[in-house]
Amino acid sequence: MELTGAQVLMKVLEEEGVDTIFGFPGGAVIDIYDEIINADIKHILVRHEQGAVHAADGYARATGGVGVCLVTSGPGATNTVTGLASAYMDSIPVVVITGQVPTHLIGNDAFQEVDIVGITRPCTKHNYLVKDPRQLAKTLREAFYIAKSGRPGPVLVDIPKDLGQAKIDYTESKGVHIKSYNPSVKPNKKQLKKVMELIKSAEKPVIFAGGGVVLSKGAQELTAFARAARIPVTGSLMGLGAFPGSDPLWLGMIGMHGTYRANMSVGECDLLIAIGVRFDDRVTGKIKTFAEHAQIVHIDIDPTSIRKNVSVAIPVVGDCKKALTVLNELFEPESIAHLENSREQWLSKIKAWKDTNPLAYKQEDVIKPQYVIDKLYELTEGRAIITTEVGQNQMWAAQFYHFDEPGHFITSGGLGCMGFGLPAAIGAQAACPDKVVVDVAGDGSIQMNIQEMATAVQYGLPVKVVILNNRYLGMVRQWQELFYECRYACTDMEHAPDFAKLAEAFGAVGLRATTPEEVEPVLREGLNSDKTVIMDFVVDREECVYPMVPAGASITEMLLV
């Protein structure tokens, strides 16, 4: 069958089950855009290419599939770099298709030509420049396979303009096989038997779950194992939702802004079972004192992540869900029966830590941001998909909204990208039209990609934006307060826009609360609306996120107030 390159691209997208792509047209991809109208694929026109990648990222996380975006050459391509870097850090499967100048002009500094393959090599799992039309379908299939297999990640495919017009003999897919790429997904059962031996003798075990559990769709297996073995569970920021936040065994998030009980538990445990984590610096704090009394088990699909940051007693390379399935098969309840008394002592100690230093705040005359999240959790019954921007808003959402399901907390964890939340919410809402999707934002970060309000309104996506408006770049201000003697250099944002009026200018609903009594009515009205909504909550300007571990300190050395 002879097709144009643009038609081949649409065919492969349909083969891969793609039903939605996010993008922005331009001259280098005009032939591809001309073909989109003939395909059974919905295109969502964003207002900035960074928003396209974040939206594809949010779509991927909400569905567990691959997100796709399409942009033109030059500035269109370079505008995707931040989104690619965020997806790369968080191991999110995204395929970014960029236009390029015609093949005969590559290297001539033609109009809107950039070496996007060279630019994005450090922040993609793999990337391609397709010069031979006969390789287009094969390359696109490989891109999807690489993006979603092994440790997932973003893949970029750069397509010169003339390939979109070229005539190509198209054949149906016969599967993908890449000789040099064979990720190991099956865990070593002998290693997992060693893990079970450690569990049998451990008196103070802790499970540390990360984003790898969510990405592998292993949350049910993790929950079953932790409950059977009566092992408390903490999670990284990316691991929220991997274990039910309402379960008594849940310790809360670990790390710089983790809960007191989570950090203290890891500090005192004798066995730490880490599943699908990277042990990044925001989790470990001072490496020398991290879980210093524990033997550490590390289960991860990426062998390069194991022993990269911490010493490990038992490494297990493989898919987290598969590893947890084997652990559940190996588990024998009678094997830990002799530990019941010590486990009770351990769980009692953890409860005392929780009771002594809970996540707490005092709601008085000025709206506390924690109170807004508490009410949001109550009114949505914990069922909403929550995206976040980055900063204090992100941490309060992680602390006070309790996630019982995976895929319901969508945030830029590794890169910490301001401007992520709104386009990611658009992607999640496009993927899950029947769910409530809320972007918890700060007044600073929401302005990074506020233009995507127009996208949400145009496509009737009823995203709710909850702005915790403290008129500061809040997290930087907090550091300035605690470590720079309150020298608030360049963090004051008193002259922010009227977000309610701005929402109305975009054709959305704008609401505002300035007193604690207004919080619940504004949330109810916003959540009950079938339109895109901005809810602006004027909160305590100098409220800080606690606990907080100072840079370079042990995670057990927390500032609590």
Catalytic residues: 49, 111-112, 161, 475
Tokens of 131: 């010069």
Q: In Å, how far are 181, 203, 373, 387, 423 from 465, measured between CA atoms?
A: 41, 45, 12, 9, 11
Smallest Cα–Cα separation from 327: which of 375, 266, 278, 275? 275
Token pair 């830029």 in the structure block, residue: 412
Q: Burial, 115: exposed, middle or buried (Cβ in 10 Å; 0-12, 13-18, 19+)?
A: middle
Say which DSSP state 459 is in. T
> Which helix or strand (DSSP H or E) is residue 89 part of?
helix 81-89
Tokens of 216: 């592998």
Q: In Å, how far are 259, 295, 387, 390 from 397, measured between CA atoms?
A: 13, 31, 9, 10
Q: Using CA atoms, how far apart are residues 10 and 395, in angstroms rounded to an integer?
A: 40
> What's at 244, amino acid-wise?
P
CB count within 10 Å of CB 531 equals 16
**Farthest CA pair distance, the chain:** 75
Smallest Cα–Cα separation from 213: which of 54, 320, 293, 303? 320
Spatial strand order in the sheet of 385-388: 409-410, 385-388, 437-442, 464-469, 533-538, 509-513
492: left (phi over 0), alpha (psi -120 to 50) or beta: beta
Q: Using CA atoms, how far apart are residues 151 and 303, in angstroms rounded to an integer?
A: 10
Q: Using CA atoms, how far apart are residues 208 and 327, in angstroms rounded to an integer?
A: 15
Residue 191's contacts (CB-CB under 8 Å, 6 or more residues apart) are: 314, 315, 316
Tokens of 404: 């019982």
| Residues facing residue 539 across a β-bridge | 367
Burial code of 405-421, b = ≥16 C-beta within 10 A, e = fewer? Answer: ebbbbbbbbbbbbbbbb
Using H for helix, E for strand and C for coil, what is the string for 7-61? Answer: HHHHHHHHHCCCCEEEEECCHHHHHHHHHHCCCCCEEEECCCHHHHHHHHHHHHH
Q: Using CA atoms, how far apart are residues 252 and 230, in angstroms rounded to an integer?
A: 16
DSSP line for 296-314: EEEEES-GGGTTSSS--SE
Residues 216, 320 contacting (CB under 8 angstroms): yes
